[in-house]
Amino acid sequence: MSHGMRVKNMIKCILKTSDLIKERQTELLDIGFVPTMGNLHQGHISLLHEALKEFKTVYFSIFVNPKQFGPSEDFNRYPRTLERDIELIENTLIHFPDSKVIIYAPENPDEVFPKDRHQVISVNGLSTVLEGKIRPGHFDGVATVVYRLFDIIKPSKAYFGLKDYQQYLVIKQMVNDLALPIKIQGMPIIREIEGLALSSRNQYLTAEQKSTSLLLFNTLSIIKNIIDQKRVNIPKANSFITETLKDPNWNYLEIRDSETFSEDISHSKNITILAVYQMGSTRLLDNMQVEVQ
Ligand code: AMP
């Protein structure tokens, strides 16, 4: 198929860091960057799409980062589907015939973290609450890999999903703390029609768990509706949250300031309701933002 061939020419998949650095040196223009762990879905593709709207060359990493998984987490069974991922990227690139995507897909973690590099990036404060409290070291793993990828790829702008809202804040804080010349763009959560946020981990769910999982989106929606953009309604929302948390499957369900991540939302203009619901061995993570007056 000639069209397919043409598109294929616009994609390079690089496995070795030394090759990636060489490739990067040939690029004169600014580039956009989308970091992922692969097993792509429309959430990831929405980031790529936005990056391609802004940059002729987009670097796209696919790397299951061992540093962000706890010892009893799903690192080994995390789905790895590189061939299919490349096809999805190709299909997106059809809409951008003059653009190119460089995929960086190191299989061996030593490519990303050479044995003689011991650096750990830790963003104070944000990294040890909520998700970070339940998954100690997780955000250090995230910040460390993203810093390393930024250092190798040197993008002008990087795209992150607001699905992982706390991660997005950690990365923004890291960029600020280290004064990195990189813009961080948060992108809207892509959901299934019924509301479940797309996630590579959704495929762990049985059909029954999947239908129960709507509880997460529905609960966030109810809280958002209770608040109804009015600060006076927050106590009512808090009572509802207290009642909801009687179900022990909630890892957390909390309201925080969208910018500072503070629990004190008495002066907040925008708040985020963040939750994780435990569905068997799978943790479903989601959030919803509400403006308040
Ligand atoms: P992951 O491969 O899960 O590490 O995700 C890579 C990037 O895709 C992160 O910035 C995520 O926040 C983003 N992402 C994952 N799921 C979604 C979604 N449903 N909607 C928007 N962005 C997403």
- Whichever domain contains 252, its CATH number is 3.30.1300.10
CA gap 63, 195 in Å, rounded: 27
Token pair of 211 as six digits: 């239908």
52 and 134 fall within a common domain: yes
Pocket of ligand 1 (CB under 6 A): 36-37, 43-44, 46-47, 160-161, 163-164, 187, 189-190, 197-200
CA gap 138, 20 in Å, rounded: 26
Place of tokens 């040196």: 25
Question: Would the pTM of this model clear 0.85, i.e. be above it?
Answer: yes
Is 194 domain-assigned?
no
143 and 261 fall within a common domain: no
Active site residues: 44
75 and 154 fall within a common domain: yes
57 and 177 fall within a common domain: yes
Pocket test for ligand 1, best of 42, 82, 159, 164 (most atoms within 8 A of CB): 164
Nearest to 143 by CA among 121, 114, 169, 173: 121
Separation of CA 40 and ligand 1 centre (Å): 9
Q: Ligand 1: which atom is nearest the Cα of residue 191?
A: 19
Instruction: Dump strand ranges (E) for the chain.
Output: 11-14, 32-36, 57-62, 100-104, 157-161, 183-187, 250-257, 270-279, 282-291
CA gap 179, 63 in Å, rounded: 25
Write the residue with the smallest CA distance to atom 17 of ligand 1. Answer: 43
Is 193 domain-assigned?
no
Is 183 domain-assigned?
yes
Q: Ligand 1: which atom is nearest the Cα of residue 197?
A: 19
Is 97 domain-assigned?
yes
- In sequence order, which residues have a C-beta less than 8 Å from that of residue 3 and are 6 or more positions away? 94
Structure confidence at residue 9 as a pLDDT band (50, 70, 90): low
The sheet carrying 100-104 orders its strands as 11-14, 100-104, 57-62, 32-36, 157-161, 183-187
Is 192 domain-assigned?
no
Q: Ligand 1: which atom is nearest the Cα of residue 162?
A: 12
CA gap 240, 234 in Å, rounded: 10
Whether residue 167 is predicted with pLDDT greater than 90 in this model: the reply is yes
Phi, psi of 41 (to 5 degrees): -135, -175
pLDDT digits (tens, 9 = 90+) for 19-77: 999 999 999 999 999 999 999 999 999 999 999 999 999 999 999 999 999 999 999 99
Count of domains observed in the chain: 2
Domain, as residue range, for 181: 5-187
* Beta-strand relationship, 100-104 and 57-62: parallel
Structure confidence at residue 5 as a pLDDT band (50, 70, 90): very low
Return the CATH number at 87: 3.40.50.620
Q: Which of 154, 187, 220 is the last residue of a domain?
A: 187
162 and 83 fall within a common domain: yes
CB atoms within 10 A of CB 191: 15
pLDDT digits (tens, 9 = 90+) for 182-228: 999 999 999 999 999 999 999 999 999 999 999 999 999 999 999 99
Q: Which of 126, 154, 187 is the last residue of a domain?
A: 187
Is 43 domain-assigned?
yes
SS3 state at 220: helix
- What is the amino acid identity at position 104? Y
222 and 112 fall within a common domain: no
100 and 148 fall within a common domain: yes
Q: Is residue 13 within a helix (H) or strand (E), and if so which, with residue range?
A: strand 11-14
Write the residue with the smallest CA distance to atom 10 of ligand 1. Answer: 160
Is 195 domain-assigned?
no
Q: At what angle do helices 17-25 and 138-153 cross, to 10 degrees?
A: 40
